[in-house]
């Protein structure tokens, strides 16, 4: 079995994606730009780690479908950045900003098609299932993004709404990654379902961690300004849980803080942050992340793999949750 | 074999696409809106007509991949309308205008994924080839659209540039439609290539016809204002051929006409139109369309079908070229 470092190096076999050298240049250069941007390649790694539980060899019929997940993920980021009007990502200009909106729309479009090209390298016997899983997942990701945008204009949402939304927007793609690894490795339907649930619950934990770090993370390590979600009134786990817990007085305080113009962004961030602490939401988030992580490992255990073999994938899951950025 | 009218009714089996009834509504309603907009369904019709040359039954494993072509085509229109800032299509508000840009981006995205779902219904033995053909085509369409946008800012382009650009932007999708029909019908590789060439050349004729009608069509029949391409300085066959033919004096006239502000749109349109007539470009376009049509039929003949069977598809091709809108 491969170590995480070896999996990283296997993924570098697709480094050609960083420089596609095709015409027209302003269609393909943004793809290379995104693929060179230092993405963590979480989804293909999960896919390869899962496949490696069953199969020693991680050759092109496995590697290329795994990369399809990353290509698809990066495509969603290009379009998300247009829709969110985000100027920077990972400290660099977004495609939308560096080129323009039309280029961002079209190079994103061709990336989503490219993902299918990479997917098509899967072995013929599992190709229909893999296409079906990927297409269902890709659809759900779009649904999640639309729900997220729709929720922006609502004063608050329920925890059920939030969990369903991040389930679609984030968790299903991690679930697709782990299940795809199972399919590529020839896992049984039960093991594939277990891998899906593992990835899904890990995805929920991952998104709540993302929300948590945006407010409580270490700015130097996190790589972007703390408190962006607060300034954008984003429906994070922290905000949703706060509304759930707060009495009338605190609800009013929270609502007025959110309505506050960001004349003094630091003050707004600090005030909301403190309210989260006072409401016990900070510890609650930490507990929630651990709970979903634990549930993800329970699902993985259902797949019935030899615990000696699941060390790498469990370590990687741990890193996703106990990260600082 | 089916008549054109019967093919139309078979396509109506996918009328559920006009009302998808899924959440979130603002993701799926635009799809239903586009699919109800009175599109001519040229591409699925070509696919079914081609398949019917070989196969009597046009069941779901044929119909659904054929509809994938229409879904994909409509997706490109949604995104094109954002990029062109077009407010109307077929006399109705574009998705971008009726909803907003973010909805147009995302519902387009989910449509391109939906196209793949429909494609996946193809019979297993031809599925890999069909996916490959579709993915290559879809990529080329994006390339064509980018070249078209890039050319907008150039003062002129060569006829080779123009033909290559419409080849990618328009012709390959018709070629994909006819070849896909061949694959679905079990045609030989040679027949499939012949069908591809037939569709491609027909596509070139179709686009030049489109350019022609925009300037010389009958406004009442055409369904949109005459002269839009002239006002938008679009690189049409007419414009490109004019630059090719014009001497220095006429080139200068043409350049200054194009630079003219559209204070008096009717005057600008009439002046450019007249220049086209004076240069003999109007008749040249008519001859060019006929030439590409003839070449398309030569390609179809190479496929070796019984001429008694090719009547419907030839009639349809004729209608595409000798249409008024």
pLDDT, chain B, mean: 94
**How sure is the predictor about A219, in pLDDT bands with cuts at 50, 70 and 90?**
confident
The single residue listed with the structure tokens 């379009």 is A79
pLDDT for A224 equals 67
Confidence of residue B233 (pLDDT cuts 50, 70, 90): confident
Instruction: Say which range, A261-265, B101-105, B156-160, B236-240, has the weakest mean pLDDT.
Output: A261-265
- Write down the pLDDT at residue A324: 59
B136, closest residue in chain A (CA to CA):
A117
Q: For residue A313, what pLDDT band results from cuts at 50, 70 and 90?
A: very high
- What pTM was computed for the model? 0.95
pLDDT tens digits along A265-308: 899 999 999 999 999 999 999 999 999 999 999 999 999 999 99
For residues A209 and A79, the answer to whether their CB atoms sit within 8 Å is no
Complex ipTM > 0.90: yes
User: pLDDT value at position B290?
Assistant: 97
Q: Which residues of B touch A101 (CB under 8 A)?
A: 83
Which of A26, A83, A146 faces B150 most closely, judged by CB atoms?
A26
Is the Cα torsion angle B244, B247, B248, B254 positive or negative in sign? negative
Q: What is the percent of chain A with per-residue pLDDT over 70, rounded to a whole number?
A: 98
Q: What average pLDDT does range B279-292 have in this prediction?
A: 97
Q: Is the pLDDT of residue B119 over 70?
A: yes
Rounded to a whole number of angstroms, the distance from the CA of A113 to the nearest CA of chain B is: 6
CA nearest to B115 within chain A: A135
> Is A59:A14 a contact under the CB 8 Å cutoff?
no
- Tell me the torsion sign for CA atoms B116, A140, A177, A185: negative
Are A139 and B132 in contact (CB < 8 Å)? Answer: no
Task: Give the pLDDT score at A161.
Answer: 97
The CA-atom distances, in angstroms, between B274 and each of A57, A314, B65 are: 68, 73, 44
- Residue among B68, B101, B109 with most chain A CBs within 10 A, to mutate: B109
* Residue A325 in this model has a pLDDT that exceeds 90: no
Nearest by CB: A105 against B79, B116, B127: B79
Q: Report the Cα A297 to chain-centroid distance in Å.
A: 18
Query: What pLDDT does residue A184 have?
Result: 98
pLDDT number for residue B223: 60
CB pairs under 8 A between A and B: 99
| pLDDT mean over B80-92 | 92
Kindly list the residues from chain B whose CB atom is less than 8 angstroms away from the CB atom of residue A21. none
The residues of A whose Cβ lies within 8 A of any Cβ of B are: 23-24, 26-27, 79, 82-83, 101-103, 105-106, 108-110, 112-114, 116-117, 120, 124, 127-128, 131-132, 135, 138-139, 142-143, 145-147, 149-150
- The pLDDT assigned to B261 comes to 76
Percent of chain B predicted with pLDDT > 70: 98
User: What are B311's two structure tokens?
Assistant: 């009547």
CA separation (Å) from A290 to A40, A173, A233, B60, B216? 22, 20, 25, 47, 69
Chain B positions contacting chain A at CB under 8 Å are 23-24, 26-27, 79, 82-83, 101-103, 105-106, 108-110, 112-114, 116-117, 120, 124, 127-128, 131-132, 135, 138-139, 142-143, 145-147, 149-150
End-to-end CA distance of chain A: 28
Residue given tokens 């962006």 in the structure block: A228
Instruction: Report the range of poorest mean pLDDT among A181-185, A294-298, B128-132, B231-235.
Output: B231-235
Query: According to the model, what pLDDT value does residue B20 have?
Result: 87
Q: Do B23 and A143 touch (CB under 8 A)?
A: yes
Q: Residue B105's pLDDT is what?
A: 98
Q: Residue A117: pLDDT band by 50, 70, 90 thresholds? A: very high
Section A12-37 average pLDDT: 91
Residue B218: Cβ within 10 Å count: 11
Give the pair of three-digit tokens for residue B87.
């407010």
Specify burial of residue A308 (Cβ count, 10 A radius: 0-12, 13-18, 19+). Answer: exposed
CB-nearest partner of B139 from A83, A113, A143: A113
- Show the tokens assigned to A180: 């795809």
Mean pLDDT, range A53-64, rounded to an integer: 96
* Chain B positions in Cβ-Cβ contact with residue A139 (cut-off 8 Å): 110, 113-114, 117
- Is residue A24 within 8 A of residue B146, CB to CB? The reply is yes
Check residue A223 and give its pLDDT: 60
* Domains of chain B: residue spans and CATH: 4-321 (1.10.600.10)
- Residues B7, B70: Cα–Cα separation, whole Å: 14
Give the pLDDT confidence score for residue B221 in this predicted structure. 67
- Higher per-residue pLDDT: A323 or A160: A160
| Mutate: best of A29, A71, A105, A148, partner B, most B CBs <10 A | A105
* The token pair that represents A90 in the structure block: 């990972």
Which tens digit of pLDDT belongs to each residue from A221-236? Answer: 666 678 989 988 899 9
Mean pLDDT of all residues in A125-144: 97
Question: How far, in Å, CA of A195 to CA of B154, rounded?
Answer: 53
Beta bridge partners of A88: A93
B112:A114 CB<8 A: no
The H-or-E segment that residue A247 falls in is none
The pLDDT-based confidence of B324 (bands split at 50, 70, 90) is low
pLDDT at res. B19:
87
- What distance lies between CA B43 and its chain's CA centroid? 8
Among the listed ranges A167-171, B121-125, B289-293, which one has the minimum average pLDDT value? B121-125
Q: How confident is the model at residue A156 (pLDDT cuts 50, 70, 90)?
A: confident
Nearest by CB to B24, from A109, A131, A146: name it: A146
Interface test with B, best of A23, A102, A125 (most B CBs within 10 A): A102
B103: distance to nearest CA of chain A, Å? Answer: 8
Q: Residue B219 — pLDDT band, cuts 50, 70, 90?
A: confident
What's chain A's average pLDDT? 94
A304: distance to nearest CA of chain B, Å? Answer: 32
Asked if B188 and B304 count as a contact pair (C-beta separation under 8 A), the reply is no
Maximum Cα–Cα distance across chain A: 61
Return the H-helix or E-strand segment holding B92. Answer: strand B92-93
- pLDDT, one tens digit per residue, over B297-318 is 999 999 999 999 999 999 999 9
Instruction: Taking residues B62-78, report their average pLDDT.
Output: 97
pLDDT at B152 over 60: yes
Q: Which of A11-25, B55-69, B209-223 has the highest mean pLDDT?
A: B55-69
**Residue of B180, B184, B127 lying closest to A132 (CA atoms):** B127
Reply yes or no on whether the pLDDT at B325 is more than 60: no
């Amino acid at each position: 079995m491969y170590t995480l470092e070896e999996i990283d190096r296997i993924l570098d076999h697709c480094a050609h994606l960083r420089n596609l050298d095709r015409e027209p240049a302003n269609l393909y250069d943004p793809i290379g730009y995104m693929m060179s941007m230092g993405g963590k390649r979480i989804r293909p790694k999960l896919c390869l780690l899962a496949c490696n539980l069953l199969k020693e060899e991680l050759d092109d019929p496995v590697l290329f479908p795994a990369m399809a997940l990353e290509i698809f993920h990066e495509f969603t980021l290009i379009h998300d950045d247009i829709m969110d009007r985000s100027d920077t990502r990972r400290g660099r200009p977004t495609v939308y900003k560096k080129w323009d909106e039309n280029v961002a729309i079209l190079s994103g479009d061709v990336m989503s098609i490219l993902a299918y090209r990479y997917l098509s390298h899967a072995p013929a016997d599992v190709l229909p299932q893999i296409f079906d899983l990927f297409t269902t997942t890709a659809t759900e990701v779009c649904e999640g993004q639309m729900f997220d945008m729709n929720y922006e204009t609502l004063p608050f949402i329920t925890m059920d709404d939030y969990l369903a939304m991040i389930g679609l927007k984030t968790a299903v793609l991690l679930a697709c990654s782990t299940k795809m690894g199972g399919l590529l490795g020839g896992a049984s339907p039960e093991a594939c379902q277990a891998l899906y649930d593992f990835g899904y619950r890990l995805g929920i934990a991952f998104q709540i961690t993302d929300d948590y770090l945006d407010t409580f993370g270490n700015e130097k390590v996190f790589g972007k300004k703390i408190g962006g979600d607060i300034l954008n009134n984003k429906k994070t786990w922290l905000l949703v849980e706060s509304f759930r817990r707060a009495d009338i007085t605190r609800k009013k305080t929270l609502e007025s803080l959110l309505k506050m113009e960001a004349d003094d962004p630091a003050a707004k961030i600090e005030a909301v942050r403190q309210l989260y602490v006072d409401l016990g939401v900070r510890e609650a988030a930490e507990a929630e992340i651990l709970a979903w992580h634990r549930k993800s490992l329970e699902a993985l255990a259902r797949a019935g793999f030899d615990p000696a073999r699941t060390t790498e994938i469990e370590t990687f899951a741990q890193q996703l949750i106990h990260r600082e950025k």
